[in-house]
Amino acid sequence: MNVMKKSTTSELAATRELRAQMQGRVVSWGDDDYARTRRVWNGAVEHQPALFAVCETTTDVQAAVWSARRNGLSLAVRGGGHDWAGRALCPNGLVIDLSGMRQVSVDPHARVATVSGGATIKDVAAAAGFHGLVAALGNCGEVGMAGLTLGGGYGPLNGRYGLAADNLLGAEVVLADGRRVTTGPGQEPELFWALRGGGGNFGVVTSMRVQLHEARGMLAGSIVYPWTEAEPVLRRYAAFAETMPDELGVSMIMTSGPDGQPALMLSPLWNGDRDQGERMIGDLQSLGTPQFAQLGPMTYTEMLAPFDAWVAEATGCHWEIRTRSLPVLMPGAIDAIIRAVARKTSPRSAVAFHHFHGAATRIPAEAIAFGLRQEHIMVEIIAGWERDASNGAAHRQWAHDLWKSLAPFALPGGYANLLGPDHREQAAAAYGDNSVRLRALKRRFDPDRVFTSAIPLPEG
């Protein structure tokens, strides 16, 4: 990638200002560490920012916001850098890079973690796990905790503890005018409502307070079924899910196995009575005849390890993601997914299932900005291909075709955290009756639309 671009007067001015004001680093065009600093998970993202403010303090973040506004530069915020749509980068703009702010402190008595804006899921899992506690987290440890939480936060503990967003207790935020505010149920409650599902549209979250929970009798692992059993296992899972207890969360993925052939992998996580958990996971294994099963006592950090290894190996590949939310796994939807996976255009492409149930469904839809509280399966359609492949259009078309074929079975909208900038139709329906309030708060807290690179909000 050629980064030897001549900087504009505004870019040079911002670089000089921030190098004089910030405690952290400033990286601009032509610097030796520009390419490393710019790197994100999705190699298909081509945006080349003019400079990065690699912040170490909230004061650094404030300086970056003020400088961008004074010099007319667009802004983006980078946490974990794993958003597939490339929202962590902005063309020719200024990136507020929070990767230097990864501290996590735990109050084990209050069961609260204070999480800096650049901390990842694995940072939080490790800090909480040290005290025998766990947070409502996702399935990939390298993902930023703030990004996961602000957009909703699906994960295997949603049935027991709700979404990551439901467990946000408060946050420190730098607003579009550079002011630092603290928000929570009793402080800026409207901003607090909007943050929990509305993403980074309202400011830069430099710190969060997150509710922790007891890690009690946790069992986890993986069950792999051969492709020939994928269809009947999914049908049996649909029936099994009707009475699934809150303590059990199950993520599933259909992708290529080590032999290159498609396979179905279930990744259960149980947090509750150990004996009951062993019986429930035994029931999962009996949905078919596994070709591989490895299950047992496990910490959340240990559960994340296989996913993190896969993500690390795939960093720099090209990715496209679409989502659908299915009220249940209907036979027609299962058939469409089976057909698509059988003809996927790349061994890296996959279809993942995230089961939203239990405690997450019992929170009123108006309680936070996140809009969908009905039990459902969030289907994540992932097209992935090698960086040197020339047929990206074919892989994207595969994802689009499956997404389109699931429309008759799906609820309106989609998971906002995974919607791309062009997915306006789904964004319009993603928040349901919360859309009007969310748009009004965007106008209130970011009237000049400084934070335009965040997840898409409904237009209007």
Domains and CATH numbers, the chain: 9-97 (3.30.43.10), 104-214 (3.30.465.10), 219-429 (3.40.462.20)
pLDDT value of residue 2: 44
The closest alpha carbon to 369, from 145, 180, 192, 123, belongs to 192
Nearest 5°: phi and psi at 308? Answer: -65, -35
Residue 241 CB-density burial (10 A; 0-12 exposed, 13-18 middle, 19+ buried): middle
Tokens standing for residue 22: 């910030």
- Measured CA to CA, the distance from residue 41 to residue 383 in angstroms comes to 14
Using alpha carbons, list the distances in angstroms from residue 381 to 22, 244, 324, 395. 41, 24, 8, 11
pLDDT of 457 higher than 50: yes
Q: What is the DSSP string of 26-58?
A: EEETT-TTHHHHH--S-TT-----SEEEE-SSH
The closest alpha carbon to 78, from 25, 21, 27, 147, belongs to 147
The closest alpha carbon to 385, from 140, 48, 44, belongs to 44
pLDDT tens-place string over residues 275-289:
999 999 999 999 999
pLDDT value of residue 389: 67
Band of the pLDDT at 6, cuts 50, 70, 90? low
Integer-rounded Cα Rg, in Å, for the chain is: 22
Average pLDDT over all residues of the chain: 95
pLDDT tens-place string over residues 64-91:
999 999 999 999 999 999 999 999 999 9
- Measured CA to CA, the distance from residue 408 to residue 388 in angstroms comes to 35
Which residue has 């294994």 as its token pair?
285
Once rounded to an integer, what is the mean pLDDT over residues 111-133? 98
Q: Among positive and negative, which fits the CA dihedral 207, 211, 217, 220? A: negative
- Higher-confidence residue of 389 and 325: namely 325
